[in-house]
A and B are shown apart, each in its own frame.
Chain A
Amino acid sequence: MKSFRQLSLFLNVMWAGFIAQVKEIVRYNSYIFSALLFPFLNLSLMVFYFRYSGQEQFLSFAVVGSGLMGIWLAATFITVYILQIERWAATLELLIATPSSLQLWILGRSAASTLLSLVSLAITLMSARFLFGVQLVIQEPMLFLSMVLGVTITLILLGTLISSLFVLTRSAEVIVNALLYPVYLLSGVVFPIVVLPGWLQPFSLLMPLYWASLGLQAAMAGGWETVGESLLILSIMSAIFAWAATWCFRTIEQRVRKDASLALA
């Protein structure tokens, strides 16, 4: 009974964070760029580029890659703004002072922003099909949806981990901006990682977007084994992100409470 009540409290905090984030997203138009405009413009660039080069056989690669780039941009940028906005509104200190878990609140907000970022994948796929006439065949729709679910969960947990680190800095936006293209580059979202220099390729295996791209491509081609492998690795990454986020939140909360240094970050 007690654990049921505790679970209900946890879910309440998460739900409150989720609703707060949805309201925030609706209010600020920069989210529209991340979730709607960027994926569309990025897809246009990729389609024109691939068609011009005569490599139309790789167009599905470009489409899925554009969608993933959009998801990553929306998920990371919106998540970064979570703590920035709390800080600007001077509510971060209040949040830390409450007995509720800051991590659950952030998890709820991260879930809302990541789910919104899925809109960018939908926009990319629909624009590719209906506006640019790209023939997209998803041979295993259920596998594709499983991959999307796996990617979503991984990104929610990664977003929570990133947020925890940004409790300590005001430069979150600059840092995420600087990390944007290294992640695209290493993940091989629009070109295979064999194009990268040999010494860089092992780093690609550490990128969730690499496994997401591999899995989604395989789901489109009906490759069960690759999808299974990608899902397994994304699950392991999710578990690591969840553990690391919990550890970081606990450590950082303790530190800023002890030093009274939260507002000095």
Chain B
Amino acid sequence: MQNLRRISQGIFLVIFLFLFVQTESKGNDILGYPAKIFLDFDPLILTTTVLSAHTAAKAFYLSLIMIVATLLLGRVFCGWICPLGTLNNMVGSLKKKRLDRAPKDWYRVKYYILAFILASSVFSLQLVGIMDPLSLLIRSLSVSVYPLFNYGVRAFFDTVYNLNSKGVVDISEFIYSLLKKSVLSFQQPFYNQAAFIGALFFLVLGLNLVEKRFWCKYLCPLGAFLGILSRFSLLKRSVSEGCTSCGACATVCQGNASPDKRDDWRDTECLYCWNCDDICPQNAVSFGFAQKKSAAAMDLGRRRVVTSMLSGVIAVPLMRSIPLSKSGFSQPKLIRPPGSLEEREFLKRCVKCGECMKVCITNGLQPTLLEAGLEGIWSPVLIPRIGYCEFRCTLCGQVCPTGAIKRLELKDKMKVKIGLAMIDKGRCLPYAHATPCIVCEEVCPTPKKAIWFEEAKAKDREGKEHVLKQPRVDLELCIGCGICETKCPVLGQPAIYVTSVGESRSKENQLLLS
């Protein structure tokens, strides 16, 4: 059974990684791969989204399949499918001796985390993405691990390339071109907080060295959610009279389910890894349907559960008593991707998975830190100095699993305003320095350009008169895509920049009388 399980884990991990790498433009309008499908199957995200937003993207109803599967087979997802679980397994195999340092009842912690998340989502706060294992994994890979991988590989091949030794370079360039066609990204991605988000991820992996599958046993809220469901599962583990209480099973249990305690084991913690069945010298362990239930009652402690839920409730006003909640206040740098819902509704759905940042064609979508409040941490923000919003691209809306970014038709996307550009006359070359420059107008993508010129005469230091084209922004036409800011030759602080005012999604954050 162990080998079968490993094969299953391997297959799902490969599918997951394949889809991850394919979450990248090939130049066509449609991505062509179901990049977000793992998230679609996540019933915890479905639950919290329905609780917070009272609706959920249609694709999420696929996760009902997972609920049914868990009711039939228990936590097979954790043991056989979850890509983060598989990675935990792999890292855990580096730890040789089995020595459970964490006290046995730490397994309850994940249920408290779940209670906190669910309670806060009832009051419209969507925090699930921070710790949902799939969100966490996709975000960490997108923003940190994949950029790291690309950087390392590129640095290696660039070094070899610069050796200028003909034969070696021919070989290395051949391998490099194969890698570029398969696993490397089109261009080196760069993200704010790559190191921070990466450190958290490596911490999760590193905890396996403290105890194997530490995350799965003690922290994972999805594991807790499925654990509760698995209490009702039809597939059950049973131990026959032949058991000699040798304790062999306890040493291999992936879930810390106390399998050696015959009538007192914790069925919610069982990952259905089958290790106990495999190892039992008496062959006393078996899994089967319609067996008698023989597990301990779930004892989480009522007070602790209530405390966790109350904390979740209190977190809502705590996170919201910030200026961002004040009417008429807007964060100018919080430029959301095109198709994003109004900010409140956006935050009720966004699970910070980072799919949009991974797919963003210009690398302009970056994770926030506190720009959108603590509640919006790691949600996407466009930073035009890094990359602009490509006029005819709709990929972020295509990969968003929750509909926080709506999927837009191309013709609609081209009309969505995500902000407005304004000119800093003190830095703009034709205004401040009598020097020609038309770059912002040249790159402006609207069919009738949102940037136009007024011709003006200006003298230079020698008194020579120049006729200059000074750019102006037509606020009716500007969509805030930010390409003018990205390409502005005034490096550092740009001479033209975008802020969120005027964004289509907001009623309040407007400038023009309409």
Whether both chains belong to one complex is answered with: no
Which residues from chain A sit less than 8 Å from chain B, CB to CB? none
Which residues from chain B sit less than 8 Å from chain A, CB to CB? none
